[in-house]
Amino acid sequence: MADSGVTDGLCDTDDIERSKTEGKELTKEEKQRLRKEKKHQKKIKEKKDDAASHEDEKKKKKKKEEKPVGAASQPPTQPSQKVAPAPAPVPVPASETPALADKPAKSKADLKAERRARQESERASKQGKKGDVGQPVPTSKPKAPPSELQPVVKRLPEHVQVDNPDVLKKLAKKLERQQIPLRSDYGYKVSLFSHLHQYSRKAPLTQQLGIPSTVIHPAIVRLGLQYSQGIVAGSNARSVALLHAFKQVIRDYTTPPNEELSRDLVNKLKPYISFLNQCRPLSASMGNAIKYIKKEISNIPSQCKEEEAKSKLLSCIECYINEKIILAAKAIAKYSIEKISDGDVILVYGCSSLVNHILCEAFEKKRKFRVIVVDSRPRLEGREALRRLVQRGISCTYVLISAVSYILPEVSKVFLGAHALLANGYVMSRVGTSQIALVAKAFNVPVLVCCETYKFCERVQTDSFVSNELDDPDELIVTRKGKTQLEHWQEVPSLGLLNLVYDVTPPDFVDLVITDLGMIPCTSVPVVLRVKNVDQ
Amino acid sequence: MELQAVLMAAGGGSRMPDLTYNTPKPMLPVGNKPLMWYPLNLLERVGFEEVIVITTKEVHKMMSTDPKMKDVKMKLDVVCIQEDGDMGTADALRHIQQKIKTDVLVVSCDLITDVALHEVVDLFRAHNATLAMLMSKAHEFTDTVPGQKGKKKTAEQRDFVGVDQSGKRLLFMANEADLEDGLSIRKSIMRKHPRMHIKTGLEDAHLYCLKKAVVDFLADNKSISSIRGELVPYLVRKQFSKTTNSPKIKDDAEDQNQKTIDELLISSRDEPLLQLAQERSCWNDHRGDMSEAYHGGKLRCYVHIIDQGLCYRVNTLAAYIEANRLAPKLFEEPAVHPSAVISERCQMGSDSIIGALCQVADKTSIKRSTIGNSTTVKEKVKVTNSIIMHGVTIEEGCNIQGCVICSNAVIGRGADLKYCLVGSGQQIEPEDERPCLPCLKRGYNPQKH
């Protein structure tokens, strides 16, 4: 397939043959060349920056960004984007097929010429660049088109490259450096999802850790265990528990001598985050919370005393939880209650803490409605939602997802919770949500998704295959009347068990998204993201 | 720091007085290693670096001279207490309350096991439990115990242990001795856990993970003196008692000024955040009723029950003998110590162990036995199924079967001992025949029998 892409770009038969044989090598060479070029350019830039005073700040920014980037397996594509303040208007689709197939190949001579031209233009622009912060943006723009024409090397996140042994080796090295054990995958993975991790609940990560855990703070070990056993499940619960554990970490933290709290604490948190990732892949809400904390920590001025800094961080965390979770829930409930009228039949799926909260609030405000709870195996979370609603006094009906098309004629509205809202308007939620939305659309029933803004994520996905989570396949095994049919599923060579956790719903099926900022259509999600980024 | 380990090594070994007459129980040799080496080794393997050892002065002295104890690389903080035997395990914990800064893992010195300790500790961590303990299926000891004529004694009073459906949550614990009329279970337990499995064939391994709040609670409540006998049943009962918020008259005779264990548990920081996380989480440990996870209870006790694997408490003679047979299999150590001198014409079975600096002469046969350090075995001796401790001299032509011979004893020439227990420093006259007699202690006149 790569070859055919290559031949399309060229007309010369000699070039075709050359590129066929050297196709892959060329791209590797190009990669190496790109890397060298960028390093060279950075060195030149830094030398010139030493003279100017503004440029010092930029250098610090670049250095900070270089450190995490330096370890990547493939070089970052757009160095210009690092410098530019605004995020790319078109988010890079990380979900595409391996980047190799996208690259149009060029002959060596063309590449050399382009490189020379670029260097000339750079040198010319640098002459007039001193002392001007605004310049990087126009200089980045001329750089961007040539780099787009160049073979674009995209960086895929590690957790969707499990079938790539190089990536696994890098991960193992990183974990070894941080002294965290590597959790091994379990069981046969269905080939479509073999690029994702699949762990077993019976083999917790604590098996490989020493018991009085010294490397990892005990609160984090406890949290990791609770994640992997499913005791803390649900996007909001996981974030709150994470922040609670971080509070304990910060309380027990003491700055070592000759170190600054702002830098050292962030480095301390990195192995903890890797550990939690090994226990269970991080959710989008957790990722945003971690970004917020890291930002807050690095913004602590160096003159600040340790006690002061710690109390400031603790209050920041409290503030974040209060604003983004508790108050957001109140605001969303207020907006949603406007949408619930008397006599409504509301369909909910699974157990979303936000949707449960909304329904309970609406019931308190004396709205008359009844609820249909749809549930699905293997988690059967709907039972918990059912219990909470019935405890309040709301009249409920309980069905399994296989009956949803029978029950939909009765339904007037569908309320769904979300695990994350992606930048292209897709809703990532528990597996089965997209089915409900699809059937609801077929019956012309309005679908309302409730989601706090801190769950908005800059990732883009159009299908549920590329980035997902595989749960323990043994959870699908059930014992009825003493017989366990799937007990020896691993011995049957043609059988694979798949336990997906998330799926992605297209925005065409969602009529309204209710957030704490108001009620927006699904396509306005990137606007909210942009506003959020500008705020920060 | 997450957990502090405490080793209880002050016990007297009241159920095997003959063995512990001269040697205190923690230093009894099992597979040529002192008994307390096994739990210390378990803790070291798992990753502990420091252990608080509560013991007597005598044991402390013996510990410092024993070569095997020097192998222990952990830092041992030895706390000596009086030997009068009035101090229970809970009293000992109260004694070291100042040293306890975090949650504590209490181990008894007579536990020999190869359990994966993370199973117990994971229950403790994941469910934020107050107590997590280890139990194993009780073993039937089939070998004849020396010194016991006729049938074995009937099983000691049983323990009734009630667990929930998952087999992890501890709902009920009582000893047969405490139940006069029959087993009564409170309605509150049945309402919350309608399906309960009651097991009787379980043996407590005396390994407990306790929260720090429990140690603080012990400091206030001086009436509790034994962990196993009083504290554990109290905690298990307290899981289901009504929490009293206002100072009403409490059912146990507690002082009104003392804090109850509930109050101590709740006074942890960030309780509202934990509450919030639990509320938002869609997990419940049971289903079928209207209550939230854990029925809203803050006090939770968990148990891990081992089916397979080694787990022995060496507190009776039968257990001691069984342990001597099985403990060496835990470790990959050579059966014969390199410094032992064994002549070539000695027949040694593969399950035998010879200690350091032994001298075994020709034409001897040693099968399924353990021979301690510095013992001398002369010619034509037949040793089967026996445990011979340190410094023993066995003269020529002896036939020793199924015996336990304590340290520094001398077995005279041609003696024929079957299922005997020879006390330390004893001397058996030559040509003595002892078929299955009760133990021979110091001061016992061997002529009169």
Residue B303 pairs in a beta bridge with B133
3-state helix, strand, coil in chain A (%, to 5): 55, 10, 35
Q: 3-class SS at A132?
A: coil
Q: How confident is the model at residue A73, as a pLDDT?
A: 39
Q: Does the distance separating the beta carbons of B284 and A211 come in below 8 Å?
A: no
**CB atoms near residue B42 (< 10 Å):** 20
Residues 6+ apart with CB under 8 A from A409: A443
> How far is Cα of residue B330 from the mean position of the Cα atoms in its chain?
16
Residues 6+ apart with CB under 8 A from A90: none
Chain A contact set for B290 (CB, 8 A): 387, 390-391
Q: Does the distance separating the beta carbons of A243 and B273 come in below 8 Å?
A: yes
Q: Does the distance separating the beta carbons of B2 and A248 come in below 8 Å?
A: no
Between CA B334 and CA A59 the distance in angstroms is 63
Q: How confident is the model at residue A499, as a pLDDT?
A: 94
Between CA B373 and CA B152 the distance in angstroms is 31
User: Residues in chain A with pLDDT < 50?
Assistant: 1-11, 19, 23-24, 64-104, 131-148
CA distance B118 to chain A (A): 6
Among A202, A215, A231, A360, most B C-beta atoms within 10 A, so best to mutate, is A231
- When CB atoms are compared, the residue of B4, B46, B282 closest to A233 is B282
**A&B contacts, CB < 8 Å:** 105
Nearest alpha carbon to residue A290 among A276, A268, A273, A271:
A273
Between CA B393 and CA A64 the distance in angstroms is 74
Note whether B207 and B105 are within 8 A (CB).
yes
Between CA B198 and CA B215 the distance in angstroms is 29
Q: How confident is the model at residue B435, as a pLDDT?
A: 63
Q: How confident is the model at residue B85, as a pLDDT?
A: 65
Residues 6+ apart with CB under 8 A from B328: B31, B335, B353, B370
Q: In chain A, positions 272-301, which contact chain B (CB-CB < 8 Å)? A: none
For chain A, how far is it from start to end, CA to CA, in angstroms?
Answer: 43
Burial class (CB in 10 A: 0-12, 13-18, 19+), A264: middle
Q: What are phi and psi of B217, to 5 degrees?
A: -65, -40
Q: How confident is the model at residue A66, as a pLDDT?
A: 46
Q: How far is CA A338 from CA A43, A74, A145, A342, A349, in A?
A: 59, 50, 48, 11, 21
Q: How confident is the model at residue A258, as a pLDDT?
A: 85
Residues in chain B, overall count = 449
In the structure encoding, which two tokens stand for residue A399, read together?
């069905």
Note whether B419 and B401 are within 8 A (CB).
yes
Q: Please tell me if residue B284 touches chain A, with a CB cutoff of 8 Å.
A: yes
In the structure encoding, which two tokens stand for residue B147, read together?
């010194």
A231-257 residue pLDDT tens: 999 999 999 999 999 999 999 999 888
Q: What are phi and psi of B181, to 5 degrees?
A: -90, -25
Chain B contact set for A233 (CB, 8 A): 281-283
**CB atoms near residue A157 (< 10 Å):** 10
Between CA A40 and CA A37 the distance in angstroms is 5
Q: Does the distance separating the beta carbons of B118 and A222 come in below 8 Å?
A: no
In the structure encoding, which two tokens stand for residue A85, read together?
């303040």
Q: 3-class SS at B358?
A: coil
Chain B contact set for A212 (CB, 8 A): 1-5, 47-49
Q: How confident is the model at residue B268, as a pLDDT?
A: 64
- When CB atoms are compared, the residue of B47, B128, B287 closest to A210 is B47
Q: In chain A, positions 368-397, which contact chain B (CB-CB < 8 Å)? A: 381, 383-385, 387, 390-391
Q: Please tell me if residue B274 touches chain A, with a CB cutoff of 8 Å.
A: yes
Tokens 């209880």 correspond to B8
**CB atoms near residue B180 (< 10 Å):** 6
Cα dihedral sign, A119-A123-A124-A129:
positive
Residue type, A315: S
Q: pLDDT 10s per residue in chain B (449 long)?
A: 788 999 998 877 777 777 777 788 888 888 888 888 999 999 999 989 999 999 888 888 888 888 778 788 888 888 888 876 678 888 889 989 999 999 999 999 989 988 899 999 999 999 999 999 999 988 777 766 776 654 445 556 788 999 998 889 999 998 888 778 888 888 989 999 999 999 998 889 999 999 999 999 998 888 888 888 889 999 999 888 876 443 444 444 444 445 676 666 666 666 888 889 988 999 998 888 888 888 888 889 999 999 888 888 888 888 888 888 887 777 777 777 777 788 777 888 777 888 888 888 888 888 888 888 888 888 888 888 888 888 888 888 888 888 888 888 888 888 888 888 888 777 888 777 766 555 554 434 444 44
Between CA B437 and CA B319 the distance in angstroms is 19
Note whether B216 and B97 are within 8 A (CB).
yes
Q: Please tell me if residue B212 touches chain A, with a CB cutoff of 8 Å.
A: no
Q: What is the DSSP letter of A258?
A: T
The DSSP code sequence of B246-281 is S----SS---TTSPPHHHHHHTSTTHHHHHHHHHHS
Relative orientation angle of helices A13-51 and A55-70, to the nearest 10 degrees: 130
Chain A contact set for B1 (CB, 8 A): 212, 214, 218
**CB atoms near residue A268 (< 10 Å):** 16
Q: How confident is the model at residue A434, as a pLDDT?
A: 96
**CB atoms near residue A255 (< 10 Å):** 16
Q: Please tell me if residue B1 touches chain A, with a CB cutoff of 8 Å.
A: yes
**b/e map of B44-63 (b: 16 or more CB within 10 Å)?**
bebebeebbbbbbeebbebb
Q: Please tell me if residue A501 touches chain B, with a CB cutoff of 8 Å.
A: no
Q: How confident is the model at residue A78, as a pLDDT?
A: 42
Q: What are phi and psi of B295, to 5 degrees?
A: 55, 25
Q: What is the DSSP letter of B210?
A: E
Nearest alpha carbon to residue A31 among A113, A103, A118:
A103
Q: Does the distance separating the beta carbons of A207 and B1 come in below 8 Å?
A: no
